[in-house]
Structure 1
């Protein structure tokens, strides 16, 4: 039965949030010896402020791959003062796993690896998930709600014995104390209707890390993969990617630093927000075919699973010894039934007729699909020109980019308003035209032209520049 608690709404988005939490935690081939697993923790890293200042970390952009002592979310909310907002901060707490061998005197000494019977353990960094909540009525948030977070350190020891029961070593997992703060506030936003700007600021407040410490030591007291979820009862969040026209100005005024908020939960819902250090669309979803986390959400499950199957027995043994999550991936892929692997090959979410070449949708009824008798046997791969706002655009035409807010690459938002040169006018198999362009002032434009790495936009996503405004014939 549905509940009116905003906390329960948050839980509906935690599957996607978990993918963010462990994004890049450990990358294929999941072995410690792999170079890309030696420099870790790339997203949402909140570092001690003194250490950040010493390193010159003063960037205030949106991207969460930059290390910073704080992150800030600003989003738009329609709600009465009696409505309740629930904010959940989530992050990883570094845990250093050290293999130790037993000495002749009965003590222990750190080693790079230890082998006991059929088990191998490497010294390696793991992480423990943490969550902290702030919940308050909108009326209280007008003066702000502040939460101080203190995460204690700790140590866990796992003895290792041989087949005879004789102690030969141990695995020690150590965590260092963390300190942080969360401040949640709400203030009126400039709009013709009642609208609030909700601000969530997360800060690392650690004062124990020396400013000249190496990164590996500073990471002990960092918040890793930090992000927030927010839910509201009797209210709704507005999309910053596609706000209603009356709130567009207020959306542009939101300042998001090292994180970016999108609507979360089931498509069509507006009472859950995910603020992620990785730029996403509204309502991101985990593919139902995915059998489990592979820690690389920018890759394809099928590719990573097939690659994992090709690892040698020695490589799989090393992966299992590197980290328990790596061991779980290898075990899952090794035992995956063929029918499950086939499901990863692809899925059709929806079906629609494909129009034949040159046929357009007039809105008067169903169009003749290309496979019917009399339809064109061949669909031309490229059209030479396309008509946009009275201008006939072709190779060499100049345009201004106006990317859509939905259904496109989220990074295209950073190209809004930039000018570009049309390199090709393409016709897709379904009759849709695309403009392939290179962006002006792109230092790599000539290289992109050379090997065909172009940016693609629909005709409605571009504006002809004044020099191109000539009437089509």
Structure 2
């Protein structure tokens, strides 16, 4: 009798975020190889050959540990994902059909230069959780290899004539994934899973090349991360574990990676272990128009800057990398409605008083914000102390009563440490309130006469504050 294969976990949602991790920092604005930001490549999750990783601050392995509650017969499915650095050199074809390596090759639409491209690599493994537990904590080893390869691409001009060649070379990569599991004692059926991904390549830097990162990168696993899934059961959140699991979570050791829940529709059957710290169930913003390779930037600003590059800068970006060329073309082709969407979105609004979030229909954000900006209650709480009232209290300054509505000139004292206040010396201002603090000191809340945001400050109760000996009363006009 045959049995149907157990369906694996769905990695689709997790892959969207994992792709952003895979290409984070791949090529940065202004997307040219000549840019200083693009000369130091590959910042995250680089697993270097062991011979290079000695005493240089980069490592050959990373470790993921997390808790799982597998059901009977569950399999652990692991997807190892990384980029392989592919070194590209540029050759020019001479009139006699010979070739020579050059630093740049000028074409009408692009400028080709040497560059390290990233080739996606994925390796899948599947093992019953029961087999891992039966090994008593000893790792089950899964070695894998990426073979060396070389590719040659002809470069043609507008007439179709071959004017150059791109030679792409990939080096061999050897690595191993070690999986182990231990059942934890207690009333809950919990397993501590461990996944160690290690570069085991035999590359060595050679004489006089110790610390040569450029030579080591083609032999490295770049932006390496893991997707782990259970065919039956769930993982425990490492960021916000339930109380019963808090101690066991604290004992897990994650080195150079961090696992977060990443299942579809909020499920806990998938974990993304990333070299970049994320929150549980991370997701790509729906407003994002495409991959810009720099998640620390605001998409709108980055796209605007890219669209504003000169024609020569765009030629250099297009020749740097096909993915950089796609970013330039994307920024040049965005329609107005996408720019408007990139300008921002309000997910929900909530009043500062207690209450549920105020949901806003898309397109009505401005009116909703205006409603929240309109004060429904005084910005101070009269119930706290009815013996004072910032709107009617006054203080004597040089024998003159100063209260809300009084006009003064600011004379900040030298004892003040705020240099910004010193810039306001002799500035005309309007007293908005007289305030008393818990130490018995009196403070004057003021707005500047020439402040275009004075009305907004009044609505929000955000003022400049001075003490009575730092103002001079001015007669009302």
Do they fold alike, i.e. is TM over 0.5? yes
| Cα distance per residue 1:191-231 (max 9 Å; x no partner) | 44111001111000000232644110000100000000011
- Residue 116 and residue 345 in structure 1: after superposition, are their counterparts in 2 closer, same or farther (change >3 A)? closer
- Residue 172 and residue 56 in structure 1: after superposition, are their counterparts in 2 closer, same or farther (change >3 A)? closer
Matched, 1:133 2:134: no
**Counterpart for residue 66 of structure 2:** 75
Q: Is the 8 A contact 2:110 2:317 kept in 1?
A: no
For residue 147 of structure 1, the aligned residue among 124, 138, 142 is: 142
| Cα distance per residue 1:12-47 (max 9 Å; x no partner) | 210000000000001111111110100010100001
Q: Is the 8 A contact 2:12 2:264 kept in 1?
A: no
Quick one: distance in 2 between partners of 1:190 and 1:301? Answer: 48
**Counterpart for residue 231 of structure 2:** 233
**Counterpart for residue 292 of structure 2:** 294
Gaps of 5+ in 1: 58-66, 363-368, 384-473
**Counterpart for residue 31 of structure 2:** 30
**Counterpart for residue 347 of structure 1:** 345
Quick one: distance in 1 between partners of 2:97 and 2:315? Answer: 29
| Residues 294-313 of structure 1 mapped to structure 2, 5 A cutoff | 294-313=292-311
Secondary structure of the 2:11 match is: helix
Choose 267-276 or 128-137, whichever is displaced more: 267-276
- Residue 141 and residue 379 in structure 1: after superposition, are their counterparts in 2 closer, same or farther (change >3 A)? farther
- Residue 122 and residue 377 in structure 1: after superposition, are their counterparts in 2 closer, same or farther (change >3 A)? farther
**Counterpart for residue 161 of structure 1:** 156
Matched, 1:91 2:82: yes
Instruction: Give 1:266 deviation, angstroms.
Output: 3.6
**Counterpart for residue 106 of structure 2:** 115
For residue 175 of structure 2, the aligned residue among 157, 180, 202 is: 180
Secondary structure of the 2:278 match is: coil
Secondary structure of the 1:6 match is: coil
For residue 312 of structure 2, the aligned residue among 306, 314, 318 is: 314
Gaps of 5+ in 2: 357-369, 385-477
- Residue 331 and residue 374 in structure 1: after superposition, are their counterparts in 2 closer, same or farther (change >3 A)? closer
TM-score, structure 1 as length reference: 0.71
Quick one: distance in 1 between partners of 2:249 and 2:373? Answer: 47
Quick one: distance in 2 between partners of 1:293 and 1:17? Answer: 12
- Residue 335 and residue 150 in structure 1: after superposition, are their counterparts in 2 closer, same or farther (change >3 A)? same
- Residue 171 and residue 195 in structure 1: after superposition, are their counterparts in 2 closer, same or farther (change >3 A)? same
Instruction: Give 1:124 deviation, angstroms.
Output: 1.0
Quick one: distance in 2 between partners of 1:370 and 1:346? Answer: 19
Instruction: Give 1:186 deviation, angstroms.
Output: 1.2
Secondary structure of the 2:266 match is: coil
| Cα distance per residue 1:265-284 (max 9 Å; x no partner) | 34531101000000011000
Instruction: Give 1:4 deviation, angstroms.
Output: 6.2
Q: Which runs of 4+ in 1 moved over 4 A?
A: 369-374, 377-380
- Residue 372 and residue 16 in structure 1: after superposition, are their counterparts in 2 closer, same or farther (change >3 A)? closer
TM-score, structure 2 as length reference: 0.71
Q: Is the 8 A contact 1:141 1:186 kept in 2?
A: yes
Quick one: distance in 2 between partners of 1:191 and 1:353? Answer: 45
- Residue 80 and residue 164 in structure 1: after superposition, are their counterparts in 2 closer, same or farther (change >3 A)? closer
Q: Is the 8 A contact 1:191 1:247 kept in 2?
A: no
Instruction: Give 1:160 deviation, angstroms.
Output: 2.0
For residue 328 of structure 1, the aligned residue among 326, 329, 335 is: 326
Quick one: distance in 1 between partners of 2:160 and 2:253? Answer: 60
Instruction: Give 1:85 deviation, angstroms.
Output: 1.1
